[in-house]
Amino acid sequence: MSRIDPLPESQASDDLKAAWARHIADYPGSRITNMKATLSHSPLAFDVYMQWYPLYQEVIGLVGNRLAYLFAHAISEGSDCPLCTMFFRKIIIDHGERPEALVLTDDEQALLRFGSEMARNKGEVPADLYQTVARRCTPAELVILVAFAGQMIATNVFNNALEVEVDSYLAPYYPVTNPT
């Protein structure tokens, strides 16, 4: 159960409803999720966290759609964030892959480890892993990747601290565990 209930639409101001509508119009396929409705208790917090979307678009421009969502998934797993991990798990499955059986190149694996290490170790990344990723990026590209990872980690922290409930539409994407 969430520590703070998502703000119901009936309690949202007209300005906030307009911000929600702009968000959905600007990012087709998006919705006001439990996280976004919880953020909406502070319209400023909602606006700040929604800057994740343009940064994510920059990451897609750098590494492509697949690697962008895999990067976000790796960061979310590294942060132990059930909500965000499930969100990106859905994207992976909807694109025809199994999160437990991804086929990755060495460069892709390095980028995913880079994101996961940042999440697990408060931003610290082993020097050899950093160099592996940095050799393939310009300084501007590396800044975008690290900034996005930081924003993703902030989203994970928000969800974890407030125990934001995983949205019901994500339920079919929970991992299936095998009995031992």
Q: Which long-range contacts (CB under 8 A, 24 or more apart) does 21-25 make?
A: 23/50, 23/53
Residue 141 has phi, psi (to 5 degrees) of -65, -40
Q: What is the pTM of this model?
A: 0.94
User: What are the pLDDT digits (tens) for 69-115?
Assistant: 999 999 999 999 999 999 999 999 999 999 999 999 999 999 999 99
Q: What is the mean pLDDT of residues 122-131?
A: 96
| Secondary structure class of 108 (helix, strand, coil) | helix
pLDDT over threshold 60, residue 57: yes
User: What are the pLDDT digits (tens) for 25-48?
Assistant: 999 999 999 999 999 999 999 999
pLDDT over threshold 80, residue 7: yes
Separation CA 72–CA 90 (nearest Å): 12
The two structure tokens encoding residue 68: 């962008």
